[in-house]
Structure 1
Amino acid sequence: MTTVQALRTFLFYLLLSSSSFFWCILCVFIAPFLPFRARYRFVIQAWCRCATWLAKTVVGLRYEVEGQENIPQQPCVVLAKHQSTWETFYLSALFEPLSQVVKRELLYVPFFGWAMAMLKPIAIDRSNPKAALKQLAKQGHERLGQGAWVLIFPEGTRIPPGQIGKFSRGGTSLAVNAGLPVLPIAHNAGEFWPKHGWAKYPGTIKVVIGPVMHAEGSGPRAIAELNERAFAWVQQTQQRISGVPMQSTATETPEVV
Structure 2
Amino acid sequence: MKVYFNEDTYHTPADTQRFLLDRLSLGTRYYFHYKFAQEILRAKKIADAGNFNRGEWAEASYRIMKNIEKCGGKFHLTGLNNLVETQKPLVLVSNHMSTLETMVFPCIIAPRMSASFVIKASLATHPYIGSIMRARKPIVVDRVNPREDLQKVMTEGQEMLASGRSVIIFPQSTRASDFIPEDFNTLGIKLAKRANVPIMPIAIKTDMWENGKYIRDLGPIDRSKHIHMAFGKSMEITGNGKETHKEILRFIGEHMNQWRQEK
2:104 partner letter: Y
CA separation of 1:19 and 1:120: change in aligned 2, threshold 3 A: same
Distance in 2 of aligned mates of 1:111 and 1:196: 17
User: Which residues in structure 2 correspond to 1:125-164 (within 5 Å)?
Assistant: 125-161=142-178, 163-164=180-181
Tell me if 1:225 matches 2:243. yes
Tell me if 1:22 matches 2:42. yes
In the alignment, what sits opposite 1:98?
A: 115
SS at match of 1:82: coil
In the alignment, what sits opposite 1:254?
A: none
Tell me if 1:201 matches 2:222. yes
Distance in 1 of aligned mates of 2:127 and 2:260: 38
Number of equivalent positions: 228
Distance in 1 of aligned mates of 2:234 and 2:74: 26
Tell me if 1:73 matches 2:83. no
1:147 partner letter: G
1:205 CA displacement: 1.5
1:164 CA displacement: 4.7
CA separation of 1:233 and 1:13: change in aligned 2, threshold 3 A: same
Contact kept, 8 Å, 1:99 with 1:120, in 2: the verdict is yes
SS at match of 1:4: coil
Worse-matched range after superposition: 88-97 or 117-126:
88-97
CA RMSD of aligned residues (A): 2.1
Distance in 2 of aligned mates of 1:52 and 1:166: 28
After the TM superposition, list the runs of 4 or more consecutive aligned residues in structure 1 that deviate by more than 4 angstroms.
162-165
2:95 partner letter: K
CA separation of 1:134 and 1:195: change in aligned 2, threshold 3 A: same
In the alignment, what sits opposite 1:51?
A: 64
SS at match of 1:15: helix
1:237 partner letter: H
Contact kept, 8 Å, 1:162 with 1:242, in 2: the verdict is no
Distance in 2 of aligned mates of 1:116 and 1:3: 31
Distance in 1 of aligned mates of 2:204 and 2:132: 28
Give the TM-score of the pair, scaled to structure 1.
0.81
After superposition, the C-alpha distances for 1:152-178 in whole angstroms (9 at most, x for unaligned) are 111221111465552211101111111
Distance in 1 of aligned mates of 2:96 and 2:120: 15
Distance in 1 of aligned mates of 2:127 and 2:99: 20
Distance in 1 of aligned mates of 2:78 and 2:250: 18
Which blocks of at least 5 consecutive residues in structure 1 are unaligned?
33-38, 245-257
SS at match of 1:5: coil
In the alignment, what sits opposite 2:30?
A: 10
Contact kept, 8 Å, 1:161 with 1:188, in 2: the verdict is no
Higher normalized helix content (fraction of residues): 1
Which blocks of at least 5 consecutive residues in structure 2 are unaligned?
1-23, 214-218
Distance in 1 of aligned mates of 2:125 and 2:170: 22
1:201 CA displacement: 1.7
1:31 partner letter: N
Distance in 2 of aligned mates of 1:61 and 1:82: 18
